[in-house]
A and B are shown apart, each in its own frame.
Chain A
Amino acid sequence: MNTQTQVRCPVHDFIALGKRECQIINTKVVQRLRGIHQLAMAYLVYPGALHNRFDHSLGVYHLSSKLCDRLQINNDDKRLVQFAAILHDIGHGPFSHVWENGLSRYSDKVALGIKREKIHERIGQDMIAVDPELNRCLSTDERNSIISLLRDGYGEPVLKDIVSGPLDADKQDYLLRDSRFCGVPYGTFDLSQLHRCLATGEQDGSTCLAVTEDGVHTLEQFVLAKYYLTNNVYRHKVRLISDNMLTRAVMLGIETDGIEELRELCSYDGKNPEQFIREYALWDDARFLVTFGSDRYNGTKCHTLVTRLRERQLLKQVYCKQLSESEFPDGLVREALTKLQEAQQTEIEEQIAGALAAKWGKSIDSKLVTVSVYSVRSVRTDSKDDEKSILIGSPKPVPFEECSLLFNSINEQLSYFYVEVYAPADWTSRTKRREMMDGVSADIYSILNSVTQVKGAVE
């Protein structure tokens, strides 16, 4: 590659870009990523978290180039991996992963023929296929190969492993970047040593990404970085609440306020990708906040939530319990709470709004009350990503967790469920907060049990 320009990156220092990379980066669909924050509105709790998908994509490009060099990937394949790295996130909607909740609810997965794939990933692949500017930068063969690489893989599995896998360039960049911008030092790991220990292994006759035995401790650091960032940043209480408010703003905007513009932005069926993408590619975080926080939508539920987000008048966590036998003795209630039907959820939220109003002596809008049930996985399970284990040793690799003293001793089965309730609440001190939460805890517990026991009664 002949370097055309170098970009100073706060995480990786200088990133060298060639002519073709510059052409791709200068397309509108890639430049749009500057307006999509990497961590949605996490800046409401970590003010430094203003980095965006564009910065991240450059970082992934840089790291994937280094991985290709380290693994001696041939030039043609390296070029595809580099292009895929730049383009891997272009399908994200406003607020990154938060938008996926709306896409998942309103898009036609059957028409798209997808089960586990994220809809923004499909949108990104369709952008690569139909975007006129990208068409001018990339040949048809290149676009098809990049789409294959991002979807199911292209060539040897090691290429896909670099772009998407438990040890991919994406994860390597976002851990370091999120850690740096949030000012949370937990996400750091020894990148140089990790790269030094990378190797190719053989799995079922194909070449995959593996790590030599010297890299076990660096990998432990890498996996722990992901664990710590997940618990301190990605699952921070305020982050969960702001994500939840964004999702609910979209849902209420579509279902209660009847905002057709929003519905169209969240409804993808792949039948006319050019038309959908033309509109979709105009949206980023700022446009969403300005549009739906404007006077035009005054009086809508969507506007109320967007205004609260802009003014940082966030909902508060008014209830949080582990979904354990000691907290919820009835097993069928525990089961039902992890699979809440929409009607049940609405009923619970309405009843809780009534209980809060009675206790606090003020009106509570039930549409702003949210019940959320989520699970926290063991760090050992997390080390496997959603796909597969990191492999140690070459040429016959074995799963990392089996040869790490630290991870071998962690019980993989250990995970927890939590049930939380968010609602509009005002408190002026921690003591007042405790008093208000304690005051409604028994009522919320009773509502959660009584509504879900309707399902349990089938027994």
Chain B
Amino acid sequence: MRTRDFALLALDAMGGEVKGKTLFQKRIYFLGLLADQLDELGYVAHYYGPYSSEVAEAASEMQALGFLSETQVGCGATNAWGFEVARSDFELTKDGKKVVELLKSQEGDLPKRIADAWAKVRDAGDLSYMQLAIAAKVFYVLQLRGGSVKREEIAQIAKKFGWTISQDDVAKAEAFLLSLDVIDVEPVA
């Protein structure tokens, strides 16, 4: 399986569109995790949580081949250096959907595993890109550490990132990880 194939099938499972490349990266991370394909997707540690240059390149390739259209949406905000923050919204094109149908006939049960994974992620709260980034980074840190975690530790780990994040974001990320059942949690004494 190529990363591009996984990304195409994932986009199709998400309804054919995704709003923002960070959201795209983090969703694919969790879909890869739940569909047992994470090792194939090339994620590495990154300041903003796990990041895969292969997934980023897959998005570029899909656009270059006309399978994905991109719309830049101004968010009305600026970053720390004063640049306007623009969001890239992606949507599968007609040709992209044709390739997805072809992949569904070639990739065995993978399309179903990805669709099931997406249903689980969506039902767990369908988080914003920031909440998902917190959840992804917390999970990544916990995975490196191994073993179980006390529930209150999740928020503590999140606070150490140095990002500007709200308590609500942390709470949602925590609830998300717990409902995905991807971490072992010890009760707080």
Nearest Cβ distance between residue B18 and chain A, in whole angstroms? 13
B122 CB-CB contact with A under 8 Å? no
- Do the beta carbons of B83 and A387 come within 8 Å of each other? no
Residue of B nearest to A336 (CB): B102
**Contact (Cβ within 8 A) B60 A331:** no
Q: A402 with B98: in contact, given A323-B65, A334-B65 (CB under 8 Å)?
A: no
Residue of A nearest to B163 (CB): A396
CA of A408 to CA of B42, assembled, Å:
24
Contact, CB under 8 Å: A332 / B61: no
A114 to chain B, nearest CB (A): 12
Interface pick from A77-85, A241-249, A343-351, A409-417: A409-417
The answer to whether the Cβ of A378 comes within 8 Å of any Cβ in the partner chain is: yes
**Contact in complex: A417, B65 (CB < 8 Å):** yes
Residues of A near B64 (CB, < 8 A) are: 323-324, 375, 414-417
Beyond A415-B63, A415-B64, is A115–B39 a contact (Cβ under 8 Å)? Answer: yes
Q: From residue B136, how far is it (CB to closest CB) to chain A in Å?
A: 13
Task: Judge whether A458 and B105 touch: CB under 8 Å.
Answer: yes
A116 touches B (CB below 8 Å): yes
Contact, CB under 8 Å: B80 / A398:
yes
A128 within 8 A of B: no
* Cβ contacts under 8 Å, B106 to chain A: 458
Distance in angstroms from A274 CB to nearest chain B CB is 31
Say yes or no: is A133 at the interface (Cβ < 8 Å to chain B): no
- A396 in contact with B81 (CB, 8 Å): no
* A397 to B64 alpha-carbon distance, docked (Å): 31
Known interface pairs A377-B57, A386-B53, A403-B80. Does A413 touch B101 (Cβ–Cβ under 8 Å)?
A: no
Interface residues of B in 63-114 (CB under 8 A from A): 63-67, 70, 79-81, 83, 88, 93-96, 98-99, 101-102, 105-106
What residue of chain A has the Cβ atom nearest to residue B105's Cβ?
A: A458
- Check A334 against B66 for contact (C-beta < 8 Å): yes
Per a CB cutoff under 8 Å, which of A339, A402, A456 touches B2?
A: A339
Question: Does A384 belong to the interface (CB within 8 Å)?
Answer: yes
- Which of the 9-residue segments B26-34, B43-51, B168-176 touches chain A? B43-51
Known contacts A332-B102, A412-B56, A413-B88: does B79 contact A402 (CB below 8 Å)? yes
Contacts of A414 in B (CB 8 A): 60, 63-64
CB closest residue in chain A, given B70: A413
**Please, which residues of chain A bring their CB within 8 A of the CB of B99?**
331-332, 335
| Chain B residues, Cβ within 8 Å of A384 | 53, 56
- Shortest distance in angstroms between A179's beta carbon and chain B's nearest beta carbon? 25
A412 CA to B53 CA, complexed, in Å:
11
A77 to B47, CA, bound (A): 24
With both chains docked as a complex, state the minimum distance between the C-beta of B144 and any C-beta of chain A, in angstroms. 8
- Against B, the Cβ 8 Å flags (1 = close, 0 = not) of A390-413 are 010000111100110100100111
Q: Which of A116, A325, A405, A459 meets B98, CB within 8 Å?
A: A459
B127 interface contact, C-beta 8 A: no
Let me know if A388 is at the binding interface, CB within 8 A: yes
User: Chain B: which residue is nearest A206 at the CB level?
Assistant: B45
Complex CA gap A388/B45 in Å reads 8
B60–A377 touching, CB < 8 Å: yes
A76 in the interface (beta carbon within 8 A): no
- A58–chain B nearest beta-carbon distance, Å: 30
Instruction: Quote the shortest CB–CB distance from B168 to chain A (angstroms).
Output: 22
B141 lies within 8 A of chain A by Cβ: yes
| Set of chain B residues within 8 Å of A386, measured between Cβ atoms | 53
CB of A397 within 8 A of CB of B2, answer: no
User: What 1/0 mask marks residues of chain A from 311 to 337 whose CB sits below 8 Å from any chain B CB?
Assistant: 000000000000111000001101100
Residue among A335, A375, A381 making CB contact with B102, cutoff 8 Å:
A335
Q: Does B59 lie at the interface of the complex (its beta carbon under 8 Å from any beta carbon of A)? A: yes
Is A205 interfacial (CB 8 A cutoff)? yes
> Is B95 a contact of A459 with CB atoms below 8 Å?
no
Q: Is A324 a contact partner of B60 (Cβ separation < 8 A)? A: no
Ordered by A's residue number, 14 sampled pairs between the chains whose C-beta atoms are within 8 Å are: A204-B141, A325-B95, A331-B95, A331-B98, A332-B98, A335-B65, A335-B102, A377-B57, A378-B60, A381-B57, A385-B53, A396-B162, A411-B70, A413-B70
- Given A324-B64, A375-B60, A403-B81, list of 9 further CB < 8 A pairs? A203-B47, A332-B98, A334-B66, A335-B99, A381-B57, A388-B53, A397-B47, A403-B83, A417-B64
